[in-house]
Chains A and B, each alone.
Chain A
Amino acid sequence: MTGVSTAATVIATILALGGAAALVWATARAMRPRAPAESFAWIVLAGIVYSVLGLAAAVRSPESDGLRASVLQLVAVLLAAAVGGLVPARRAEDTGEVSGLAAAAVFLAWLSLIGLPPTVGFHAKVLVYRALLAADWGWLLVIAMAAGAAALAPGFLTLATYRPGAVGGLRAVVIALLLLAIVMLGLYPQAGLAAAARVANLASGA
């Protein structure tokens, strides 16, 4: 945290406080959804807030590697959101069994949003948590981890109640590719980390 201006400290604090409030709010809303898809949307929002927290850590302490964590978290959230957005809800006329690909897509998207292996979300969350700790924000780390644990509840609810509809054709191919990206970046994180580092360097002008 050496060499950080007062303005940067103020911005970082505002981002952290706003992020913490938004994280608590989004997670709380996800726990009381009107429909399963709604809790997914709230957890996606919470995922974006994690990215903001990584950014706040980077502003407060450039050596925390928060910018890279922020970018990787954003990638993880976008991939999961894209998968969630492509899987349709089951309609009344869908009489067949739930498609294996659709069920796997919903499950892996949730897994990545919660930050569990073997998905890219795992590495993103670990780096965001590490950045918060490196920025000396222990209290924010506790809030972020508590929100991560609380996100299990809507996840359980969705997985128990949500029945995805049939997917086929090009949509199925795109979903399969996105799932492959989520898992491959989870198993071999270097590709995602290198891309995130490049974006972070561009953003910081390094």
Chain B
Amino acid sequence: MGAFRPDTVVLNWLLTLPFFAAACAGLFPRLSLPAHSEKEAEAMRRGPFMLGALASVMGVALSVSLFPAVFRTGPVTADYWWTKDLYHLRFQADSFTTPLAVVIWGVGLYLNMHLAGLPVLSHPHRRAALLLVAQGGALGACLSADLIALFMFIGLALVALWLLVMLDDARAANRFFAMTHVGALMLLGGILLIWLRGGDSAVTSLSYLLLSVEPNALGVMGLLVLVGTLPMVACFPAYGWLTDLAEAAPSTAMAPALLLPAVGGAMLLRLLPGSMVVALLPALAVVALLLGIATLWWGAIRAWMSPGLRQLAAWLTVAQSGYLVLAIGAMASPTASSEIVRAAALHVLVAPLALAAVWGAAGSVRAEFGTDSIADLNGLLRKAPLATVALFLGGLSLAGLPPLPGFQVQRLLVSGLFHDGRLWFAVVIAAADLLVAVAVLDALRRIWLGEPPTAGRWASAWLSGQLALASLVLLAAGAGSGALAGWTEAMLRGVFSISRSGLVSTP
């Protein structure tokens, strides 16, 4: 474990928090008193989500407390005895994974606020507990510095999300789990190959792969990791689970839609560019580029054609994964600029914020008016201003418009491609950005204008709070966009402190 460091204690607490809170959420109903009125029953129904929100706030605070150590003295690590001679529970908080932990906890807070604000939901205790386990799995996967531990945490998050969605719709939940599980098995194949060829399951050993493994084996590893992650990030052609969930289980679809792309994106960044370096695998790079472009355009077009807000949110989620996969493919060029890696790292952090705003707006409108069908809604600017603002800010951040944080992602990506002489790709991305912006603005135009609809049936301070939170976070991140761009430099070091290849030059 090395010398005692207070920040390691913080990391330890951070890792145990979701499981502790999940246990509390399960015990809560046994401790609670019977409700004497509907008002009391309603307040008690929110109890587990309030506990989950509290755990998430503590998680954000603890993650933020790691920042000084991470940025001053480098990565904070914690290594636990797990197996004697095979794999370990190794965790590493660095300049990339620490902000990611903040995002995951923030998303958890947001999801708990959303569920607390919805009208009658079955099994609130189970939902809160499963959400916390899913958060814990996502957090563990992001912080893991051991390949098998990373895979185990992904599996844990998938199982928890599967059970969570199953509370609403078993068929959609099974489809979600089947697709992501098949992807996870392919990922496991890649991880086992890395483990055997690299001789160690530690993520830090990835850099030695380049010296010891022949290009064909590297290609197979890279392909398995890439293809195995596609269902998780909802990339073409493995996005079906997400659009299914948006139809069948709208109240819980937001959880996998926000958590999994962040985890999958972080994993792709940690396993692919620094270690196996797609620059050595031109075929893999072509696959990633084609998949990225197809996903981006297909998502943007379908978002434009969406009949409802939740479908819009689902297709925008698909489209944003296109940016990530495209960036992974674009890193393959031997002359690739580090701006592309920085764009991808920043995208993993800010896309969940924008998606949270869009999904939250869709869920809030559906809860308040009983529908999110665009054809049935109008005059929302006056009736639901917060939802309108959240949708506006989230959608336009995904489209990469200033002054929102998505702009920095697009600026770095397009500028990186431009400097690499790939003008056409830059044009393709800029055109897709425009299409995303049109899809969002068109939906807003249709639901904004006109006479206000009849009074909403449901109003919740929790839903208003979550929308205000999403809008404020997006605006704050947009206002600090200069700092964000500078931060990506540190993030780059964070990514490569885990997989040091040095093949992508830092500026």
Interface residues of A (CB under 8 A from B): 111, 116-118, 122, 126-127, 129-130, 133-134, 141, 145, 148-149, 152-153, 156, 160, 188-190, 193-194
Return chain A residues, CB-CB under 8 Å to B155: 116-117, 122
The 0/1 profile, CB within 8 Å of A marked 1, for residues 146-158 of chain B is 0010011101100
Nearest opposing residue in chain A for B154, CB measure: A117
26 contacts between A and B (CB under 8 A): A116-B155, A116-B159, A116-B181, A117-B153, A118-B152, A126-B151, A126-B188, A126-B192, A129-B188, A129-B192, A134-B196, A145-B188, A148-B185, A149-B178, A149-B181, A152-B174, A152-B181, A156-B174, A156-B178, A188-B82, A190-B81, A190-B82, A190-B84, A193-B83, A193-B86, A194-B84
The 0/1 profile, CB within 8 Å of A marked 1, for residues 182-225 of chain B is 10010011001101100000000000000000000000000000
- In the assembled complex, the Cα of A148 lies from the Cα of B185 at a distance in Å of 9
Return chain A residues, CB-CB under 8 Å to B83: 189-190, 193
Q: In the complex, are the beta carbons of B84 and A193 less than 8 A apart?
A: yes
> B-side binding surface: helix, strand, loop or mixed?
helix
Nearest opposing residue in chain A for B175, CB measure: A156
Q: In the complex, are the beta carbons of A141 and B189 less than 8 A apart?
A: yes
CB of B323 within 8 A of chain A? no
Q: In the complex, are the beta carbons of A149 and B188 less than 8 A apart?
A: no
How many A-B contacts if CB must be within 8 Å?
Answer: 57
Return chain A residues, CB-CB under 8 Å to B189: 129, 141, 145
Nearest opposing residue in chain A for B153, CB measure: A117
CB of B170 within 8 A of chain A? yes
Closest 4 CB pairs of A and B: A117-B155, A156-B174, A117-B152, A145-B185
CB of B91 within 8 A of chain A? no
> A-side binding surface: helix, strand, loop or mixed?
helix
- In the complex, besides A118-B156, A129-B192, A149-B182, 10 extra interface pairs with C-beta distance below 8 angstroms are A117-B156, A122-B152, A126-B192, A129-B189, A145-B188, A145-B189, A152-B177, A156-B170, A160-B170, A188-B82
Residues of B within 8 A of A (CB-CB), count: 25
Return chain B residues, CB-CB under 8 Å to A193: 83-84, 86
The contact of A117 among B159, B178, B193, B195, by CB within 8 Å, is: B159
Nearest opposing residue in chain A for B148, CB measure: A126
- In the assembled complex, the Cα of A194 lies from the Cα of B193 at a distance in Å of 24
- In the assembled complex, the Cα of A134 lies from the Cα of B151 at a distance in Å of 19
- In the assembled complex, the Cα of A188 lies from the Cα of B149 at a distance in Å of 12
- In the assembled complex, the Cα of A117 lies from the Cα of B193 at a distance in Å of 20
